Chains A and B, each alone.
Chain A
Amino acid sequence: MLRFLVHRLFIMIPTLLAISLIVFVIIQLPPGDYLTSYINELQSQGESVDEAKIAFLREQYGLDKPWWQQYLVWLFGMLQGDFGFSFEHNQPVSEVVGDRLWLSFLVSISTIMFTWAVSFPIGVYSATHQYSWGDYGLSFLGFLGLATPNFLLALVMLYLANRWFGTSVGGLMDDQFIGQPWTWGKFLSVLEHLWVPVVVIGTSGTAGMIRRLRANLLDELQRQYVTTGRAKGMSPRKLLIKYPLRMSLNPFIADIGNLLPQVVSGSVIVSVVLSLPTTGPMLLRALQSQDMYLAGAFLMFLSLLTVIGVFISDILLAMLDPRIRLGGGATR
């Protein structure tokens, strides 16, 4: 198991390096940099531009160096916890970001938990009651969740919650807690607000999970050992839970790899609509204003989230399934 872990960790390093390179290329893509658009803005307002100041800034941020040097500076800075400087906010990126990364993480994890909690019983029900009305109805609901654009669902939920509960569900906590240190009250307030984004983001992933669990379980239920067990008088409950269900859990966990990027994507757009204090709205703003290091930090973090998620799912899978553990590292 330890060998597997080390091997798996080792693979992550080149992947992360490649990701950082791609992210850097992307944030460099827009023509010009923040300073040029800053100068343009100043000039269009009729203000004079202090050449010396611009040159100083350019040198300080290393914008005059070739791109690969900038990349290396950025990369080594990140390794030391320095994510660069946000031009727009005039602060280091790590200070601008603040709580946002953790809240994003919280939203993503809760959404995955929600997706599992919902799709597991539904999947089992659909498989054991194949072609019943319940099966059709639940599958259809799942499909509907898949087909509805997240952002619109968020908007409608926002309206309905406002209408029925009289609470404003925008944001992730009550106003009085924003910027305050973590307390029990703040935690409860976050929980109270969390359910809307979690449900909205979760709907799109649930359908896929239900279908996969249903298909796997149906495959297992047709195996001969199930027939044998039934012939020998095993109780239906035990016959379902003891083996087939455990076997069909495997792909369920392996699926985090597919689910997580989807959840992260969903959370970005939903948090823009609900104006959650997570990465979404700020990433959008940073992309629009070419605040490259801020955007880069967010992109890097979101990708890291998926890479680590896949890593965890691989480990869970290896713990569940000795074939993978002993197979010497190569998974999936």
Chain B
Amino acid sequence: MSPPSRGDEPLEHWVSDAPFDPHVAEALTPEQERIYMASQWRIMWIRFKRHKLAVWSGAILGLIYFSVLISEFIAPYNLNTRHTDHIYAPPQSINLFHEGSLKSPFTYGLKYTLNMENLKREYSDDESRVDRIRFFCLGDSYNFWGLIPMRFHLVCPPKDGTMFLLGTDRLGRDMFSRIVIGTRISLTVGLIGITISFALGMFFGGLAGYYGGWIDNVIQRVIEVIRSFPELPLWMALSAALPVTWSPIVIYFGITIILGLLDWTGLARAVRSKLLAIREEDFVSAARLMGAKPSRIIWRHMMPSFMSHLIASATLSIPAMILGETALSFLGLGLRPPITSWGVLLAEAQNINVVALYPWLMLPVVPVIIVILAFNFLGDGLRDAADPYK
């Protein structure tokens, strides 16, 4: 039925017989519904995905952290396998073509000569020897996670040849394998440290923010004092105080605790200011009037609304810890061999001769830079996404 046309006649009374929906103005298209009805975490995810750099950084970090689970499998050599014939060997390249024909990946043999003028070890490719690299093969034996003895590797050096992707150090140990295995320590230092500082920050920030008054005052003063210490000298002093008799693994935990102990102040401040703001919200008053206990109010009602902020700021403070460990180990106050981290590896590159003669010993800095950048970008993305209703 079509609406009547205007004429000279007075308009007839006309009623549309289509069913009437009184909520028509408020109805949402499926597209809108997906966004408006989404949970807070879902909106954050949508928002986070828009920050391409952060997504990529997250993916890279995920990959690197995954590699930590299977470092020994990825590394072609063992942490401490020495090649006394190949001390300070430069990085070897992997080739695909030999005399114009395509082959499976291979390395050339290394020829060693001692330069009698400056006593520098010089290596050159021996083009007559083509050593094919093996994949999914048996190589150096290791204890997987320190428990299961295994010999299985992703890549192995050729049968009688060598494959030093990033060169070797002063004892002829493969740098690439050492960097891969060192990742485990370097990255977990940040994680354990941040867990400690997170717990401390939540606890003290929560106390200060929820109770206020003199508790708040005392905690604020303590935070101020801790913040006015320059971090590195204090870290140095504390790690110098770790007894020499401790085993390296205990020292490792000691260092992570030291890193965490000084870092919680920023988080505590964030927790406190958020709590102060949220404390005045209606839903908190409602919960209090209904007789909820303080712990329930904090954990059940207030925590979810600022957790995202905390995670973002925690992500941003992990890089400082990784750099801190690297610096301490470089100075010889941090981790000690046989524990291997990027900082311990860099400590080998301590003097200028290394820069001039064996620059590949500085390569552990590359993963440091990548990880620090990735954490920064990821943290930026998380922080932007943390407040999705803005």
Interface residues of A (CB under 8 A from B): 14-15, 18-19, 22, 26-27, 29-31, 143-144, 146-152, 155-156, 158-159, 162, 257, 260-262, 264-266, 268-269, 272-273, 283-284, 287-288, 295, 298-299, 302-303, 305-307, 310
Give A14 to B218 CA distance when docked, in angstroms.
Answer: 12
A19 near B228: Cβ-Cβ < 8 Å? yes
Given contacts A30-B243, A306-B229, contact A149 B237 (CB under 8 A): no
The docked-state distance in angstroms from the alpha carbon of A303 to that of B231 is 10
Contact of B368 among A147, A287, A305 (CB under 8 A): A147
Q: Which residues of B contact A261 (CB under 8 A)?
A: 227-231
Asked if A288 and B240 make an inter-chain contact with CB atoms under 8 angstroms apart, the answer reads yes
Contact A302:B241 (CB < 8 A) given known A149-B330, A159-B356, A272-B331: no
A265 to B331 alpha-carbon distance, docked (Å): 13
5 closest A-B pairs by CB: A265-B232, A29-B241, A147-B372, A264-B230, A287-B240
Whole-angstrom distance from the CB of B150 to the nearest CB of chain A?
Answer: 34
Q: Are A265 and B233 in contact (CB under 8 A)?
A: yes
Whether A287 touches B236, Cβ cut-off 8 Å, given contacts A19-B225, A149-B346, is: yes
Give the chain B neighbours of A162 by CB distance below 8 A: 352
Q: Which residues of A contact B356 (CB under 8 A)?
A: 159
Known: A264-B233, A269-B327. Is A147-B319 also a contact (CB below 8 A)?
yes
Cβ-closest chain A residue relative to B231: A265
Q: Which of B221, B234, B350, B352 contacts A299 (CB 8 A)?
A: B234
Whether A268 pairs with B225 at a CB distance below 8 angstroms is no
Interface residue B362 (Cβ < 8 Å from any Cβ of A): yes
- Do residues A143 and B376 form an inter-chain contact, with CB atoms below 8 A? yes
Known: A159-B356, A269-B331. A26 touches B234 (CB 8 A): yes
In the assembled complex, the Cα of A278 lies from the Cα of B227 at a distance in Å of: 23
The yes or no answer to B312 lying at the interface (CB within 8 A) is no
Contacts A15-B228, A261-B230, A307-B228: A151 and B352 contacting too (C-beta < 8 A)?
no
B185 CB-CB contact with A under 8 Å:
no
Most buried by A among B238, B240, B369, B376: B240
Which of chain B's residues 258-317 have a Cβ closer than 8 Å to chain A?
Answer: none
B355 CB to closest chain A CB (Å) equals 4
Cross-chain contact A265 with B230 (CB below 8 angstroms)? yes
**A29 adjacent to B238 (CB under 8 Å):** yes
Contact between B352 and A14 (Cβ–Cβ < 8 Å)? no
In the assembled complex, the Cα of A71 lies from the Cα of B373 at a distance in Å of 43
Whether A303 pairs with B228 at a CB distance below 8 angstroms is yes
In angstroms, Cα B225 to Cα A39, docked, is 37
Contact B221 A152 (CB under 8 A): no
Chain A, residue nearest B380 (CB): A211
* In the assembled complex, B60 has its CB within 8 A of some CB on chain A: no
> Smallest CB-CB separation from B323: which chain A residue?
A149
The 29 listed contacts between A and B (C-beta, < 8 Å) are A22-B229, A30-B240, A30-B243, A31-B243, A143-B373, A144-B373, A147-B319, A149-B327, A149-B346, A149-B368, A152-B349, A152-B365, A155-B350, A155-B352, A155-B355, A262-B230, A264-B230, A265-B230, A265-B231, A268-B233, A269-B327, A272-B331, A273-B350, A283-B236, A287-B333, A288-B240, A295-B237, A302-B230, A303-B228
B168 interface residue per 8 A CB criterion: no
| Closest B residue, CB atoms, query A295 | B237
Most chain A beta-carbon neighbours within 10 Å: one of B326, B352, B356: B352
Q: Decide if B224 is an interface residue (CB 8 Å cutoff).
A: yes
What residues of chain A lie closer than 8 Å to B372, measured between beta carbons? Answer: 146-147
A126 CB to closest chain B CB (Å) equals 15
With A261-B229, A261-B230: A268-B352 Cβ-Cβ less than 8 Å: no
Neighbour of A303 across the interface among B230, B232, B240, B368, CB < 8 A: B230
Residues of A within 8 A of B330 (CB): 149, 151, 269
| Most chain A CB neighbours (cut-off 10 Å) among B229, B230, B238, B323 | B230
With a cutoff of 8 Å between Cβ atoms, the chain B residues found around residue A288 in the complex are: 240, 333
Q: What distance in Å separates the Cβ of A94 from its nearest Cβ neighbour in chain B?
A: 19
Q: How far is the CA of A151 from the CA of B350 in the complex (A)?
A: 9
**Inter-chain contacts of B230 with A (CB < 8 A):** 260-262, 264-265, 268, 302-303, 305-306
Known: A15-B221, A269-B327, A306-B228. 8 other contacts (CB 8 A): A15-B225, A19-B225, A26-B234, A143-B373, A150-B327, A155-B352, A260-B230, A268-B232
CA A302 to CA B232, docked complex, whole Å: 11
A268 CB → nearest B CB, Å: 5
Query: Shortest beta-carbon distance, B30 to chain A, in Å?
Result: 32
Task: Tell me the chain B residues, 145-172 only, with Cβ under 8 Å from chain A.
Answer: none
The answer for the CA separation of A155 and B354 in the assembled complex, in Å, is 10
- Interfacial chain B residues near A152, Cβ < 8 Å: 346, 349, 362, 365
Hey, which chain B residues are within 8 Å of A299, CB to CB? 233-234, 237
| Least CB separation from B371: chain A residue | A147
> In the bound complex, what is the Cα–Cα distance between A295 and B233 (angstroms)?
10
Q: Are B233 and A302 in contact (CB under 8 A)?
A: yes
Residues A151 and B369 in contact, CB atoms below 8 Å apart: no
How far apart sit A22 and B330, CA to CA, in the bound complex (Å)?
25
- When chains A and B are docked, how far (Å) is the Cα of A144 from the Cα of B366? 11
Asked whether B225 lies within 8 Å of A156 as measured between CB atoms, the reply is no
Neighbouring B residues of A306 by C-beta, 8 Å: 228-230
Contacts of B323 in A (CB 8 A): 149
CA distance A151 to B243 in the complex (A): 26
Q: Which residues of B contact A283 (CB under 8 A)?
A: 233, 236
Decide: B327 and A147 in contact? CB cutoff 8 A.
no
Which A residues touch B224, using CB under 8 A?
A: 15
Shortest Cβ gap from B265 to chain A (Å):
11
Taking a contact as CB atoms under 8 Å apart, the answer to whether A148 and B352 are in contact is: no
B352-389 interface mask toward A, CB cutoff 8 Å, 1 = contact, 0 = none? 10011000001001001100110010000000000000
